[in-house]
Amino acid sequence: MSTEPVGTLVLDPIRCDGRGMCHDAAPGLIELDEWGYPLLPSGTLRAPIERSDMKAARDATHACPLLALHIER
Total interface residues for ligand SF4 by CB under 6 A = 13
Nearest distance, CB of residue 35 and ligand SF4, angstroms: 10
The 3-state DSSP class for residue 35 equals: coil
**Torsion sign, CA atoms 44, 29, 61, 16:** negative
Among residue numbers 12 through 71, which ones bind ligand SF4 (CB under 6 A)? 16-22, 38, 63-64, 66, 68-69
Q: What amino acid occupies position 47?
A: A
Q: Which residues bind ligand SF4 (CB under 6 A)?
A: 16-22, 38, 63-64, 66, 68-69
